[in-house]
Amino acid sequence: MSQRYRIAVIPGDGIGREVVPEGLRCLQAAAEAHGFELECTEFDFACADYWARHGEMLPPDWRDVLGGFHAIFFGAVGWPEVVPDHVSLWGSLLRLRRGFDQYVNLRPVRLLRGVRSPLRDREPGDIDFLVVRENTEGEYSSIGGRIFEDTDRETVLQETVMTRTGVDRVLRYAFELAAARPRRRLTWATKSNGIAISMPYWDERATAMAQRYPEVAADSDHIDILTARFVLQPDRYDVVVASNLFGDILSDLGPACAGTIGIAPSANINPDRTWPSLFEPVHGSAPDIAGRGIANPVGQIWSGAMMLDHLGEPAAAERVVAAIERVLDERADVLTPDLGGTGTTEGLGTAIAAEIAAGA
Ligand code: ATP
Ligand code: MG
């Protein structure tokens, strides 16, 4: 009996609906090559159409509907003509992330062969690191308020929340990752010189965690110099772990350094596996190019590779990434416009799927 994984598929809005089928095409090719099964169930919620019909982004029983799947394969959400972006985002993706306790947001930053970095003279190998973002607490709290409204004394306060459990679990995840990588380096982002209560706590917990991983060379950078070094010396970094806000910034800056936003993958992971993890490209629904068949499907396909790795199929995951890299490097004829080509979403997806089937 071959292993069978049950996947919830949520294409969402805009180009999400165009790139998800290409992601599935490639995942099925990998499943066939490696002898496991992916049983995919598609859902039509978490999109503007659903919101227009129901006034909600998710069904009330979403936790029961999705909770039993091995993983969630997500496209993109957002169609501002119909539903304001903050409503669609908070009503769908952020509820899933928090409700399923996906406390790690993982974004690989790797310059692939065949992709030009906006950084001058950078070669593949110069940029190859992982950003680990805390995904459930930190600076993104709704605790606070506004007093003395509409007076000269108008005052606004918003709290940062760091719990020992919340901080330690994301740090532990990052140190485990670093310990398993060849370079065994970890940098944590901080700003304890300016943010004088929460960030020293973050440093304290990171220092304590570092003592438990003597094999990992760990240090910290203040967030300001860290962003500068992403651009100037990206080869310094191996695993970078950050609080919710700093991680949010780093996890867009990093992929931008590695080429187009269209290729960047991400994973929202529940490492304890109490609930499913969610895999989605970094990019959004891109209303400006939706419906034209020219969106780059690589971010979706690479996110699918991360899903295979999480499911326990690392060889299949590696095969998908290798196929992506070969096609980007060798098949100028199928590249989408964001990569400088004239190809289509389906053309690039089909070429990668064929390369996956063919193997190395
Ligand atoms: P989010 O919904 O995550 O907030 P956004 O709506 O601000 O993101 P995107 O939807 O990611 O932004 O689009 C930003 C720009 O990048 C747009 O011009 C879009 O066309 C382009 N873009 C995004 N994804 C892709 C892709 N897969 N292929 C080609 N271009 C893309
Ligand atoms: Mg958007």
pLDDT in tens, 31-49: 999 999 999 999 999 999 9
Q: Does residue 281 share a domain with residue 250?
A: no
Segments of the chain assigned E as strands = 4-12, 37-42, 71-76, 104-110, 128-134, 144-147, 155-158, 185-190, 217-222, 239-242, 265-269, 277-281
CA of 283 to the centre of ligand 2 (A): 8
Bridge partners of residue 239, in order along the sequence? 130, 186
Q: Does residue 306 share a domain with residue 185?
A: no
Q: Does residue 133 share a domain with residue 248?
A: yes
Which of 20, 283, 334, 338 to mutate for ligand 1's pocket (most ligand atoms within 8 Å of CB)?
283
Which ligand is in closest contact with the Cα of 285?
A: 1
Bridge partners of residue 218, in order along the sequence? 186
pLDDT of residue 116: 87
| Residues with active-site annotation | 140, 191, 224, 248, 252
Angle at 120 between CA 260 and CA 125, to 5 degrees: 70
Quote the radius of gyration of the chain (alpha carbons, Å). Answer: 21
Last residue within a domain, chosen from 203, 227, 257: 257
Instruction: Indicate whether 359 pLDDT > 90.
Output: no
Compute CA distances 224 → 19, 123, 131, 140, 256, whole Å.
35, 25, 16, 19, 17
Domain assignment present for residue 107? The answer is no
Q: Which of 7, 96, 90, 97 is nearest to 51 (CA)?
A: 90
pLDDT of residue 123: 86
Q: Does residue 134 share a domain with residue 93?
A: no
Of all protein residues, the one whose alpha carbon is nearest to atom 5 of ligand 1 is 284
Evaluate: CB of 282 within 6 angstroms of ligand 1: no
Q: Does residue 153 share a domain with residue 48?
A: no
Torsional class of 326: left (φ above 0), alpha (ψ -120 to 50), beta (otherwise): alpha
What crossing angle do the helices spanning 164-179 and 198-211 adopt, rounded to 10°?
Answer: 40
Evaluate: CB of 284 within 6 angstroms of ligand 1: yes
Range(s) of the domain holding residue 219: 128-257
Evaluate: CB of 295 within 6 angstroms of ligand 1: yes
Whole-angstrom distance, CA of residue 338 vs CA of residue 25: 21
CA of 14 to the centre of ligand 1 (A): 10
CA of 191 to the centre of ligand 1 (A): 30
Domain assignment present for residue 111? The answer is no
Domain assignment present for residue 119? The answer is no
Q: Is there a contact between 128 and 255 (Cβ–Cβ < 8 Å)?
A: no
Q: Does residue 85 share a domain with residue 192?
A: no
Domain assignment present for residue 43? The answer is yes
Domain assignment present for residue 205? The answer is yes
Instruction: Indicate whether 360 pLDDT > 70.
Output: no
Domain assignment present for residue 157? The answer is yes
Which of 93, 251, 289 to mutate for ligand 1's pocket (most ligand atoms within 8 Å of CB)?
289
CA of 316 to the centre of ligand 2 (A): 31
Reduce the DSSP state of residue 257 to 3 states and report it.
helix
Domain count, the chain: 2
Of all protein residues, the one whose alpha carbon is nearest to atom 8 of ligand 1 is 284
pLDDT band of residue 2 (cuts 50, 70, 90) is confident
Evaluate: CB of 283 within 6 angstroms of ligand 1: yes
Q: Does residue 332 share a domain with residue 297?
A: yes
Evaluate: CB of 259 within 6 angstroms of ligand 1: no
CA of 305 to the centre of ligand 2 (A): 23
Pairing of strands 71-76, 128-134: unpaired
Task: Looking at the CA of residue 289, tell me the nearest atom of ligand 1.
Answer: 20
Evaluate: CB of 262 within 6 angstroms of ligand 1: yes
CA of 85 to the centre of ligand 2 (A): 7
Sign of the Cα pseudo-torsion (166, 168, 171, 172, in order): negative
Q: Does residue 156 share a domain with residue 49?
A: no
Question: What average pLDDT score do residues 80-99 get?
Answer: 92
Evaluate: CB of 296 within 6 angstroms of ligand 1: yes
Domain assignment present for residue 109? The answer is no
pLDDT of residue 86: 87
Of all protein residues, the one whose alpha carbon is nearest to atom 6 of ligand 1 is 284
Domain assignment present for residue 268? The answer is no
Instruction: Indicate whether 192 pLDDT > 70.
Output: yes
Evaluate: CB of 121 within 6 angstroms of ligand 1: no
Q: Does residue 246 share a domain with residue 143?
A: yes
Task: Looking at the CA of residue 77, tell me the nearest atom of ligand 1.
Answer: 2
Evaluate: CB of 343 within 6 angstroms of ligand 1: no
pLDDT tens sequence across 65-85: 999 999 999 999 999 999 999
Give the predicted TM-score (pTM) of the model: 0.94
Q: Does residue 250 share a domain with residue 145?
A: yes
pLDDT tens sequence across 268-287: 999 999 999 999 999 999 99
As a whole-number percent, the residues of the chain with pLDDT over 70 amount to 99
User: So what's the ipTM on this one?
Assistant: 0.95
**DSSP result, 31-80:** HHHHT-EEEEEE---SSHHHHHHHSSSS-TTHHHHHHTSSEEEEEE--BT
Whole-angstrom distance, CA of residue 206 vs CA of residue 170: 10
**What CATH number does the domain containing 144 carry?**
3.40.718.10
Q: Is there a contact between 75 and 301 (Cβ–Cβ < 8 Å)?
A: no
Last residue within a domain, chosen from 257, 289, 311: 257
CA of 36 to the centre of ligand 2 (A): 34
Task: Looking at the CA of residue 300, tell me the nearest atom of ligand 1.
Answer: 27
